Amino acid sequence: MNIKDIRIKEVFLAGMITVIISVCLWDFLMPSQKIYEAEDAQVVGAPVESQHSGYTGSGYVDFKRKSGEYVQWTVGVKQGGDYFLCFRYALGGKNDRPLRIIVNGEIMEEALNFPRTGDWSEWGRLVLEVYLEPGENAIRAVTSGNSGPNIDRLSVEPVKNRIFSFLGKV
């Protein structure tokens, strides 16, 4: 083997390593969250409204009664595992309004606290980490004594891509 052959091998190897690193970085950096609008989900009791600006999609769910109203999303994932559920919401009332969060019929949070955002047009995010089964999952946010915030949408993202949650992109 002469020096020229060794050089070619080196260049080839360096090229392969660059490709592999690029693919891994791409996979790591590409956002993989899925967005589910609340107004497109199953909504029971609460009306869908669009009075306050800043929402995405065609509106948001406006909880009215203190208890018994809910929004339920059907979320499909290929792999079972830990996921971030990120609720985008607005709460201009005087008090925080916790919601009960139920995943596949099991209560994950009896009272997940949604802090005030200061105005009904100010949208905030609240993240909850849960385990999701492969296939379809039912995620329900229920009023349980405190009414609730206006819910704009739910974003779902694998925990392994947590950098995006820290960057506030979910």
- Please give the residue ranges that form the binding site for Ca ion (CB under 5 A): 37, 55-57, 60, 152-153
- The nearer residue to Ca ion, 62 or 152, going by C-beta atoms, is 152
Give least dist CB 134 to Ca ion, A: 27
How far apart are CB 150 and Ca ion at their closest, in Å? 9
| CA torsion angle 58 125 146 92 (round to 10) | -70
The residue whose Cβ lies closest to Ca ion is 57
Phi, psi of 161 (to 5 degrees): -100, 35
* Least Cβ distance, residue 35 to Ca ion (angstroms): 9
- Closer residue to Ca ion (CB): 37 or 69: 37
We find the least distance from the C-beta atom of residue 20 to Ca ion, in angstroms, to be 39
Which CB atom, from 69 or from 152, has the smaller least distance to Ca ion?
152
- Name the amino acid, one letter, at 16: M
Contact call for residues 141 and 63 (beta carbons, < 8 A) = no
Count CB atoms within 10 A of the CB of residue 161.
19
Nearer to Ca ion, 60 or 84 (CB): 60
User: Which residues does 62 contact at the CB level (< 8 Å), separation at least 6?
Assistant: 46, 47, 48, 49, 150
CA–CA separation, 170 and 27 (whole Å): 17
